[in-house]
Structure 1
């Protein structure tokens, strides 16, 4: 340029634009910042301030107590975050949503840890004073409660953390004892001797909920029982064929250690049986030519093959009828064994049983009533309770009175197989009591604490009878615990998902009586006394006295359950009315599931922040709690309240790794909540929960969390833009909905639709559905549509009605999006809220979701704008082709011709500023037929786009290319920008 050339310099118009202004950072920095928000909420007392809101209907989510031992795992995080979603969303929808967190504190896991300390020091736990031992257990639980409380709070979970419920609090122990006494007084408590699942490692009975199933390699044996007599048919008078007198009935079992306790052999009259004779044998074999065996026809070939016989080495002699089987008497395999001391010299009857099948085994079932539920039931049915055996001790060892095997363990103290099985097998081989043996891997019950196999063992235990009429007069939903439970499941409880109903119903429909007692020390004792000289069936066996009960409860309230174990406790509680020498104090403790099943009484009923009617609106736990807390709470409450303690039950799945495998420390595929919060922040973990279908098992891992974080960043960008757009927005700038442009009214329509979706979704606990709708709205309808279109008006317009309307909508969006998302992204929404409304007492979590005017809904307008959006998709796709081909750099360089076939759509597009909608400088709409070169999209029929470049000069303020640029007072501006500058 020559020095003397005159040039007009175009001003820098950037400073004249109304660019968004916000300090809201792009990078969240959640791991460092979230603890500050937690401290802030605690300082301003958010949870307590919400309780001060009067006149709101209550909503009570009752917390299923986690166990107070060990750091949280990802399953804990899933559970507590889901609960927090519900509590917060219900609160923001106008309820008084109370949440009292709690802990299970009694039971074997804690007791086991304390015993382990003793073992490491070479001490014997039984030599320690029981009260001192219980105090150690209490201190152990207290320590872990403090740790877990802080870990739960770190996840952003709201609740009454300052005053949680603990099953070991004195009042709680008093109420648990009181609830037990109701069973004592209403006639459902009894002592019985029956087989229960028993852990030889932990030396206690286990409930079904304390058992998990793992693969286990067991011995398999095929044992023949000699027929010793056969009676004539009682109905016909016909004589029994003598060929059965030399036959042997073959049973199959995977528990050889139960053979010494055999008392019968069962068959099924519906099965086809035959008599089989051995006609040839290999060199090494436990059967002999001429032996005859009774077998189910469907299994005979398999059994004889296991006995090492080949085809042609046996023959089927004849059919054997059910009447014939019923008349047989067998000898125990150890009958007459040397050293047996006549222990097994008794007759073994044949009994019929529907549980016998011909799908596996031999078609005959070895029956040891002390070691199997079906075996026990068969003996109860026949009144043969005097034939029960007591051969196995609490360490899983044969007791001293059992010849040949005394002291041999089934399971050792370390959870390994003892010598009992092999000893029994060896003795069977020695006496000719085996025709085959093997090993098989199958699903077998294990203690979920020690992970060791369990056994069925006959032992005196205390039970709640679930089919006995409850003598409490609360018969609205049934007279027995089972009837009340089944009625509650069907008529009183809403199940989420509905499959939970079927699972619990079938469990309770088929379950036996509830085993209440455990042979341990850390827990609430069964506060009852039994008469020394009486039998469990005697009317005066149990002491039922309200005055005695009251003295016990008074002591527990003041001293806790330790009062039961202190010197002189028996005399103190019996008082002057009973001779202590005539009564025995029961020292078994209650099943810990009775503790947690009773929580409704001391939390929902007794606490001021419980439930007005003592019933929870919701119980929420994992699917395993159908056999755990949901189950025990139902049984317990049906025995004391007469109905379920909850109106709703929600269940979630388990957590798996990214490949769908079960998490295991040994596999190294676990995800610790603490690690996630350190790397990403708790909001990312919460977002993972919200995005997943919790009704199924949930996968989590590094790649899944990375994807969750990427989605979070997209959402954060939307929120950041919105914050910038409402900077300095004041009420005097607000525009009524009726005065807004169509585009704004369409967004309001979408807000009204979403308000319904969000409220319905939160009410149905569909967090995945809520978040997906909101995420799509933010990223697709706002960022990629509305914000994209209105960016020009927000930046470049002066104080126009259009800009004021857009800013009003941004404000309305702000209040709804922050409250809609606050239950999920608790920290991020607090950050967004405080960015706009700072203040010492300010918090998004003190707000409710705003009510949305019904007149925002405008279906005809929405239908019109759906057409506009469909046409826009074709235009933006056509321009993207030109951008990719580097024909243009930005859409404002274009002025496309849009051919529209349908008159309704053409009219709709002409009635709006379609060039602004498509972010082009100009646009031409026509109903003329589409030329061949027009760009089309198969999914949007009837719309074609022919690309044309915009004519004119580029406005240096808004960057639109228009013919009038340069013809106004302000250099290089268009008419709109010139007016804005004026």
Structure 2
């Protein structure tokens, strides 16, 4: 219909009498150029502030996990902030006062590292710069990137309190971070200990687990003899060794024990044959795990029964009775450094999966080793300095680095191996590739290194008197995890298992840019002494008051110790701690100075939702929980939502070196931010998701289809007014079916948004818009909308379109923030108008009509058979359009026939005439295999083609207006 209507003498032009759609809404969106204008408009009319003025709403707060202020946004940032924005906007439109305070992490090593690089380029030494001058450079750097990232986030359409974000470097934030630290000081969980930490030799600081990534690197694995010097005679014969295996040869000088597995089967083996190229000797005996013996001897070139024989079992009692010598014991020039006994100790961490079944134990360089050392009173060694060099006076190895300052392997392991070879202590050696920990900033390997650090004890009763869900931090955390809702549910298990196994929290970092550990230690006292730490509320108050006014720089000013200790203490009696806090403590404290302290925070200091990537189970979710349960006894969040990582189209991790990174700015420039947001909505963000040019093309196609749906509604509602509105009770069945679908969809949308299921919401709305509306309802009602006069059908259809308009624009507004604003302003262009000031419309429950829906499911099924039959005729050029047809539809089921006869089925099928029959269909009638009991016999419509609506009807030409049918004659008037 509505084809060429050029007027001829026998064919008047009726085009002007049709109700054709009218809209200026463009087919082409032009999003990259037009989106900035909407951003400016929202800022001008103050949308975010106007939403806060709405009264009587329950607050809903998403607490922003702070991105790091040190560079342009990557695609992970865009995914993260878009999901957060959808959560905030959807809850606002569901009737909440949904607040969003963006924030930034501003302290820490990445920024400090950048400033150091700048100094190095100028030939300056960072350590020669006054510390507060250096900190000022770091603050300036962070502020620069906060401002850049803020504009980049806003360009993505993210709403929030952008003029007043939270920054961990704000003076009040630094005050609260110090204050929260002091709560650990005062409640007895803070202590100074010397234990292995993940240490970056390049950056010369301890690192948190969240600051570590794993990469492959090559290393030398060695099999080392520890001679037995005491025990049963069968072992203590001067020729027996316990064989250990390690991939860190540089730790051998720090060995203090050997661990065995109590449940492992061990044997005593003797070498009685050897090839020429072999480090074993005839007659020597070694104790190893039976499960590993074969591969050990093969590695030692002793494979085969003619070289090694098993002499006897070795029991746990045998092992506990053995004492070994260090392999460097008695070495010339060692000055007695290693002249001590090496005991054999049971350890549950020992397995027979690899190695020898014995674990060389250096308490200074591993968690399990440290735990064994504490249990059995082993001596801690301090052979390795901050830069990973052996102490200068260590015999044979002094000054050798484990890791060089440039991040490359040093000579420490090689030096140890050469000395062991010289001593005849090696039985085998092999070059291996292993996955090992690296700093994600410097990309250099890290080591486990014993260093005096400050810790929060997570298994010590917290002396705060709260006794909430447990006395210790670990007990409280594990209990609180089960009081939180997790999306997806697997997040609970992930964090729970981490919290069950984690060691004490290392709070200190040996750097300059951050909040200091605001505490003093008494000179001459030991960390185990009760008065080692100064605990004084008055001192604490002077510190936090200074931080509030001046920031944390006050700690480093000349005379700070005297100022804070006041007249109550002699400054000469105390040391001022200069380490800074782990930045995860900073971000873990954000709930205190953002949720608790701000007017737009929350009444109880708890967020409704935290939302970050799944890597934050060991990062922000983790540190926030530890910090909060340590100071308040409860979690800082009620819901935790996590998303996966973003990969390229082929499923590979994005990497600059590979060249497969996708920058949000480029997507916005090419497609517009709404396309990026739509990509987020179409993915299952709880899993790793992919993005690339082909994927974005598919997203753009979905966008175009939605845009066309909205454009059609705008055109058909051009002059709609309240006078046109029809009550649902007076509507035809087809319209009431649409209302039923709207009521169903309203429940789906609300439940989906409440569950943070944006993919589910979008797919439901998109399917409805493209399948139920564009491909069915709009197609069927186009005739009535264009050609009817003031009929119930047309008024009802336009009323439904209006109801659809309000729901679709609002339901999609949290996703397509720019496009739905454009659609809204096309109808409601007032100066203060915005879709983002609206709520989801209330949808009456009585629109639900299950029986009607079931009936129309049958009607649509028959329609599908009819349209498929007509498409065959169109393909065969029997007809040019479905209006030329008058098919006979054979329906076996009486109830379904009655349903078809009760509706204008010819309009539903877009034919001019149609017949319904219960007779047996003729042979050759068209059927579809999945629609049983329905067949269609094609026939052409009788009559002439109406010049106005194009229906072929018998009465065309019999009315006052030439060449039209009765319906059109009445519409023309």
TM-score bin (small chain):
over 0.9
> Would you say 1:281 and 2:282 are equivalent positions?
no
Question: Aligned with 1:99: secondary structure?
Answer: strand
- Provide the C-alpha distance between the structure 1 equivalents of 2:285 and 2:685, rounded to a whole number of angstroms: 58
- Provide the C-alpha distance between the structure 2 equivalents of 1:39 and 1:57, rounded to a whole number of angstroms: 29
> Would you say 1:369 and 2:370 are equivalent positions?
no
Tell me the residue number matched to 1:272.
Answer: 265
> Would you say 1:698 and 2:689 are equivalent positions?
yes
Tell me the residue number matched to 2:187.
Answer: 186
- Please tell me whether the aligned partners of residues 405 and 420 of structure 1 are also in contact (alpha carbons under 8 angstroms): yes
Tell me the residue number matched to 1:429.
Answer: 421
How far off its partner does 1:139 sit? Answer: 0.2
Question: Aligned with 2:34: secondary structure?
Answer: helix
- Provide the C-alpha distance between the structure 2 equivalents of 1:243 and 1:228, rounded to a whole number of angstroms: 6
Tell me the residue number matched to 1:415.
Answer: 407
- Provide the C-alpha distance between the structure 2 equivalents of 1:860 and 1:293, rounded to a whole number of angstroms: 83
Larger CA deviation: 554-563 vs 265-274: 265-274
Please list the CA deviations of residues 157-186 of structure 1 after superposition, one character each: whole Å capped at 9, or x if unmatched: 000000000000000000000000000000
1:147-166 mapped onto 2 (5 Å cutoff): 147-166=148-167
Tell me the residue number matched to 2:310.
Answer: 316
1:96-135 mapped onto 2 (5 Å cutoff): 96-135=97-136
Question: Aligned with 1:713: secondary structure?
Answer: helix
How far off its partner does 1:382 sit? Answer: 1.8
How far off its partner does 1:240 sit? Answer: 4.5
Question: Aligned with 2:425: secondary structure?
Answer: coil
Tell me the residue number matched to 1:970.
Answer: 961
Question: Aligned with 1:87: secondary structure?
Answer: helix
How far off its partner does 1:690 sit? Answer: 0.2
> Would you say 1:336 and 2:325 are equivalent positions?
no
Deviating beyond 2 angstroms after TM superposition, the runs of 4 or more aligned structure 1 residues are 239-246
- Please tell me whether the aligned partners of residues 396 and 410 of structure 1 are also in contact (alpha carbons under 8 angstroms): yes
- Please tell me whether the aligned partners of residues 229 and 245 of structure 1 are also in contact (alpha carbons under 8 angstroms): no
Match of 1:663 among 654, 669, 686: 654
Tell me the residue number matched to 1:250.
Answer: 243
Tell me the residue number matched to 2:342.
Answer: 348
Tell me the residue number matched to 1:383.
Answer: 377
Tell me the residue number matched to 2:764.
Answer: 773
Please list the CA deviations of residues 558-595 of structure 1 after superposition, one character each: whole Å capped at 9, or x if unmatched: 00000000000000000000000000000000000000
- Provide the C-alpha distance between the structure 2 equivalents of 1:190 and 1:754, rounded to a whole number of angstroms: 57
- Provide the C-alpha distance between the structure 2 equivalents of 1:242 and 1:722, rounded to a whole number of angstroms: 91
- Please tell me whether the aligned partners of residues 910 and 925 of structure 1 are also in contact (alpha carbons under 8 angstroms): yes
Unaligned runs of 5+ in 2: 1-7
Q: Cα 1:398–1:92, aligned 2, differ >3 Å: closer, same or farther?
A: same
Question: Aligned with 2:221: secondary structure?
Answer: strand
Tell me the residue number matched to 1:260.
Answer: 253
Tell me the residue number matched to 1:631.
Answer: 622
Match of 1:449 among 422, 426, 441: 441
Match of 1:901 among 885, 892, 898: 892
How far off its partner does 1:245 sit? Answer: 4.6
Tell me the residue number matched to 2:220.
Answer: 219
- Provide the C-alpha distance between the structure 1 equivalents of 2:319 and 2:460, rounded to a whole number of angstroms: 35
- Please tell me whether the aligned partners of residues 391 and 401 of structure 1 are also in contact (alpha carbons under 8 angstroms): no
Please list the CA deviations of residues 926-968 of structure 1 after superposition, one character each: whole Å capped at 9, or x if unmatched: 0011222111111111111111111111001000001111111
- Provide the C-alpha distance between the structure 1 equivalents of 2:235 and 2:627, rounded to a whole number of angstroms: 56
Tell me the residue number matched to 1:21.
Answer: 22
Match of 2:778 among 787, 793, 812: 787
1:726-765 mapped onto 2 (5 Å cutoff): 726-765=717-756
How far off its partner does 1:408 sit? Answer: 0.7
How far off its partner does 1:760 sit? Answer: 0.4
Larger CA deviation: 509-518 vs 245-254: 245-254
Q: Cα 1:443–1:242, aligned 2, differ >3 Å: closer, same or farther?
A: closer
Question: Aligned with 1:784: secondary structure?
Answer: helix
- Provide the C-alpha distance between the structure 1 equivalents of 2:416 and 2:78, rounded to a whole number of angstroms: 48
How far off its partner does 1:9 sit? Answer: 2.9
Tell me the residue number matched to 2:675.
Answer: 684
How far off its partner does 1:355 sit? Answer: 0.8
> Would you say 1:89 and 2:80 are equivalent positions?
no
Question: Aligned with 1:196: secondary structure?
Answer: strand
Tell me the residue number matched to 2:141.
Answer: 140
How far off its partner does 1:244 sit? Answer: 5.3
Please list the CA deviations of residues 438-480 of structure 1 after superposition, one character each: whole Å capped at 9, or x if unmatched: 1111221111111111100001000000011111111121111
- Provide the C-alpha distance between the structure 1 equivalents of 2:62 and 2:442, rounded to a whole number of angstroms: 32
TM-score for both structures, normalised by structure 2: 0.99
How far off its partner does 1:336 sit? Answer: 1.4
Larger CA deviation: 476-485 vs 82-91: 476-485
> Would you say 1:303 and 2:304 are equivalent positions?
no
- Provide the C-alpha distance between the structure 2 equivalents of 1:496 and 1:243, rounded to a whole number of angstroms: 60
1:444-483 mapped onto 2 (5 Å cutoff): 444-483=436-475
Larger CA deviation: 935-944 vs 28-37: 935-944
- Provide the C-alpha distance between the structure 1 equivalents of 2:875 and 2:705, rounded to a whole number of angstroms: 24
> Would you say 1:509 and 2:503 are equivalent positions?
no
Tell me the residue number matched to 2:634.
Answer: 643
Please list the CA deviations of residues 84-138 of structure 1 after superposition, one character each: whole Å capped at 9, or x if unmatched: 0000000000000000000000000000000011111221110000000000000
- Provide the C-alpha distance between the structure 1 equivalents of 2:237 and 2:777, rounded to a whole number of angstroms: 90
Tell me the residue number matched to 1:80.
Answer: 81
- Please tell me whether the aligned partners of residues 240 and 324 of structure 1 are also in contact (alpha carbons under 8 angstroms): no
Larger CA deviation: 439-448 vs 612-621: 439-448
Tell me the residue number matched to 1:177.
Answer: 178
How far off its partner does 1:243 sit? Answer: 5.6
Unaligned runs of 5+ in 1: 1-6, 231-238
How far off its partner does 1:269 sit? Answer: 2.0
- Provide the C-alpha distance between the structure 2 equivalents of 1:744 and 1:877, rounded to a whole number of angstroms: 24
- Provide the C-alpha distance between the structure 2 equivalents of 1:850 and 1:959, rounded to a whole number of angstroms: 38
Please list the CA deviations of residues 295-353 of structure 1 after superposition, one character each: whole Å capped at 9, or x if unmatched: 11111111111011131211111111111111111111111112211111111111111
- Provide the C-alpha distance between the structure 2 equivalents of 1:932 and 1:441, rounded to a whole number of angstroms: 74
Please list the CA deviations of residues 623-676 of structure 1 after superposition, one character each: whole Å capped at 9, or x if unmatched: 000000000000000000101000000000000000000001111111100000
- Please tell me whether the aligned partners of residues 605 and 613 of structure 1 are also in contact (alpha carbons under 8 angstroms): yes
Please list the CA deviations of residues 685-729 of structure 1 after superposition, one character each: whole Å capped at 9, or x if unmatched: 000000000110000000000000011001100000000111111
- Provide the C-alpha distance between the structure 2 equivalents of 1:402 and 1:354, rounded to a whole number of angstroms: 32
- Provide the C-alpha distance between the structure 2 equivalents of 1:474 and 1:60, rounded to a whole number of angstroms: 26
Tell me the residue number matched to 1:167.
Answer: 168
Question: Aligned with 2:267: secondary structure?
Answer: strand
- Provide the C-alpha distance between the structure 2 equivalents of 1:310 and 1:94, rounded to a whole number of angstroms: 75
How far off its partner does 1:553 sit? Answer: 0.3
Please list the CA deviations of residues 596-631 of structure 1 after superposition, one character each: whole Å capped at 9, or x if unmatched: 000000000000011111000000000000000000
Tell me the residue number matched to 1:360.
Answer: 354
Tell me the residue number matched to 1:235.
Answer: none
- Provide the C-alpha distance between the structure 2 equivalents of 1:591 and 1:695, rounded to a whole number of angstroms: 29
How far off its partner does 1:383 sit? Answer: 3.1
> Would you say 1:837 and 2:825 are equivalent positions?
no
How far off its partner does 1:890 sit? Answer: 0.8
Q: Cα 1:403–1:981, aligned 2, differ >3 Å: closer, same or farther?
A: same
- Provide the C-alpha distance between the structure 2 equivalents of 1:959 and 1:442, rounded to a whole number of angstroms: 76
- Please tell me whether the aligned partners of residues 196 and 451 of structure 2 are also in contact (alpha carbons under 8 angstroms): yes
Question: Aligned with 2:567: secondary structure?
Answer: coil
- Please tell me whether the aligned partners of residues 793 and 802 of structure 1 are also in contact (alpha carbons under 8 angstroms): yes
Q: How many residues align?
A: 965
How far off its partner does 1:241 sit? Answer: 3.1
Tell me the residue number matched to 2:901.
Answer: 910
RMSD, aligned CA: 0.9
1:31-70 mapped onto 2 (5 Å cutoff): 31-70=32-71
How far off its partner does 1:242 sit? Answer: 5.2
- Provide the C-alpha distance between the structure 2 equivalents of 1:554 and 1:416, rounded to a whole number of angstroms: 45
Tell me the residue number matched to 2:4.
Answer: none
